A and B are shown apart, each in its own frame.
Chain A
Amino acid sequence: MEFIRYTKTRRTRRLLAFAAAAASVALVASGCASGGDAGTGGGAEGDLSITFIPKQLNNPYTDVVLGGGEDGATAAGFAATEVVGPLEASASSQVSFINAETQAGTSVIVIAANDPDAVGPALEEARAAGAKIVAFDSDTNPKYRDVFISQVIAKDVALIQIELLAEQIGGSGEIAILSATANATNQNEWIKFIEEELASNPEYAEISLVAKVYGDDDDTKSFQEAQGLLQAYPSLKGIISPTTVGIAATARYLSTSNYKGTVALTGLGLPNEMRPFVKDGTVTAFALWDPAQLGYVAAFAGKALADGTITGTEGDTFDAGDLGEREVGADGIVIVGPPTTFNADNIDDYDF
């Protein structure tokens, strides 16, 4: 696993951004900079270029994913790697970035879609221009992409979360879910599996899901949603937050209120963000896959697509560098790996 390199890239990119910002207060300077940059971005004939378009820049989780992606791109042999994206996660804002990449003749576009459909027409145009489309993290409508790199098997993620929570609340009581946005594809899939599991598994018969709320992956909003949940449902025993922003905000609220220790919290979180809450007892255990691997595999999948090694049909296999061989499953989905559970015993072993 390559977590160490990520920190470095993050800092470098930050410096670059700062330098660019400073240089560009004068308009001409910005133009020059863009001129200079574009030479490398375009790529010479035969050289493959890859561009990552995350949901939103400047998001810690995204940074980890992208760190892995950049490592993967280098390892896979891309000549040029770029990261572009909007500063705020909105459905349509990714479109113009896709357009610019289409125009730049980028060979592989790796995207985490804010809206499965809004990016569709733009992606189709990019494909028409010869680009390969890899969706990762959050899928687009399947018809717009070649493969989707999924963190884990959706059902596994759902099951591990409900299992963790059931254990923490002693197998019975009211629970709620604090999600990201209501039309985030991955979130909804997990929630669906959680609901199904609650309904079908007799072990969870005593548990009732009373509310689903959405914090829009915004720290303040998630914080207030968590607060509202506890007020509206006084007998709430536990919360599942399958999003890194949501779980951290909820943990922050719990740790500062008198619900600390009485209301259980689990979900998907970054160990670095969650460490204090695990240590102070607000959170017992939570889960996550290795985000860096997600980007890493996406880069290799892109390379395989661009080389023509795979087409994204079920059963295709490709080499994913250090992570070995991966197989394309049904609907062009590639699974990265099983989720890890973090708790007070092992959290210090991870740095992301």
Chain B
Amino acid sequence: MTLDTSPPATSETTTRRANGFAAVLRLREIPVTLALIALVTLTYMANPLFLSQQGVKDLLLNATIVIILSVGQAMVIVTRNVDLSIGSILGIVAFSTGTLFVTFPGIPIVLVFLAGMALGALLGSINGCLVTVAKVPSLVITLGTLYIYRGLNNAWAGGTQYFAGDRPDSFGALSVDTIAGFPVITLIAIVVVIIVAIFMASTRPGRDLYAIGSDPEAAKLFGIPVTRRVLLAFLSNGVLAGLAGVLYASRFNSVGATTGTGLEFDIIAAAVVGGVAIFGGSGTVIGAAIGALLLTTITSALTAIRVDKFWQQAIVGLLILAAIVIDRIARIRTAKKLRLSEARDV
């Protein structure tokens, strides 16, 4: 990963005012995109099968669920909050999906999606309510609900697991069939990313989320409905975690008590790698999605080039640290540039 390519983007800001804002945002996504391209290219050169039809499909499928979760998490992180409970939400929704299909054979798939997202929304909004009403940091609250939701999932599921065979073939086909080379569930993820990206970049409530994360006190003074907006972020995150839970049930074989355990840090890592500032206010969901794609691709790439799998986690760790450092460097450069342009103005 190098920094060499950022200067063109920065100089553009000064010359072309019109694109300034977008360029600043893009800046944060450039390193991760380049890293992704480099990774894919190198792996492809080492093992051409990596980009075979099946290879690409697998890459996309692996990333799909993580992408959806990262996008949701990015919405929460932008408001200077965090949701650690998503793994538990995903687990409980995935299991409820399995349960629905078994309990009501022939239930329309659309209904299952809606039910999963509704359950996710409920769990997400419980997080949101606790965070906004009790005014307690989300890290603590969602650490608590991480345990509680997981406990409920365990209590509910016990040793029961539902398998792919318990679900209709058409449901499983969502993660098998492709349209123009893209698996159906990946297309769902892409649609989600686009919708959320537009929401975050180009609607008033979306921009409010950035304002809240940028300075919560100022947001209150300014009259932004902070409580409602933060609640919205948690709720949306819940909905997306719910969606991810349903898709998980479509893609993987078994859903049970431990489904989705330990996902939380991977998802936060994906968002951070994608340039979402951990203290809120900046970063985009596109970045988070690319971050998710990068992290899942690394896993596949290392396997494909037969690198000792023990290195995998260490490399992911290094990548997260690299992302943070690069983000800091970018920030310092931007600040310096602004100071210079200010000096010229005076």
Direct contact of A and B (CB under 8 A): yes
A10 to B53, CA, bound (A): 43
> Do residues B49 and A273 form an inter-chain contact, with CB atoms below 8 A?
no
- Does A275 belong to the interface (CB within 8 Å)? yes
- Does A259 belong to the interface (CB within 8 Å)? yes
Knowing A219-B259, A252-B253, say if A13 contacts B306 (CB, 8 Å).
no
- Does B34 belong to the interface (CB within 8 Å)? no
- Does B151 belong to the interface (CB within 8 Å)? yes
A227 to B155, CA, bound (A): 32
> Do residues B154 and A17 form an inter-chain contact, with CB atoms below 8 A?
yes
- Does B227 belong to the interface (CB within 8 Å)? no
Most chain A CB inside 10 Å of its own CB: which residue of B50, B159, B175, B305: B159
- Does B304 belong to the interface (CB within 8 Å)? yes
Chain B interface category by residue count: 35 or more
> Do residues A223 and B49 form an inter-chain contact, with CB atoms below 8 A?
no
Q: Which residues of B contact A259 (CB under 8 A)?
A: 54
Knowing A58-B256, A87-B154, A256-B175, say if A275 contacts B165 (CB, 8 Å).
yes
CB A105 to nearest CB in B, in angstroms, measures 27
Contact partner, B257, options A87, A220, A224, A252, Cβ 8 Å: A87
Interface residues in A250-295 (C-beta closer than 8 Å to B) = 251-252, 255-259, 272-273, 275-277
CB A109 to nearest CB in B, in angstroms, measures 20
> Do residues B155 and A22 form an inter-chain contact, with CB atoms below 8 A?
yes
Most chain A CB inside 10 Å of its own CB: which residue of B158, B160, B172, B256: B158
Knowing that A227-B62, A252-B253 touch, tell me 16 more A-B residue pairs with CB under 8 angstroms.
Answer: A18-B156, A21-B154, A63-B159, A225-B303, A227-B303, A229-B303, A231-B300, A231-B303, A232-B47, A232-B305, A249-B252, A249-B253, A256-B251, A257-B54, A258-B53, A258-B54
- Does B113 belong to the interface (CB within 8 Å)? no
A62 to B159, CA, bound (A): 8
Interface residue tally for chain A (C-beta within 8 Å): 44
> Do residues A58 and B159 form an inter-chain contact, with CB atoms below 8 A?
yes
A219 to B55, CA, bound (A): 20
> Do residues B55 and A231 form an inter-chain contact, with CB atoms below 8 A?
yes
Contact partner, B300, options A10, A219, A227, Cβ 8 Å: A227
- Does B309 belong to the interface (CB within 8 Å)? yes
CB A102 to nearest CB in B, in angstroms, measures 25
Q: Which residues of B contact A273 (CB under 8 A)?
A: 163, 165, 253-254
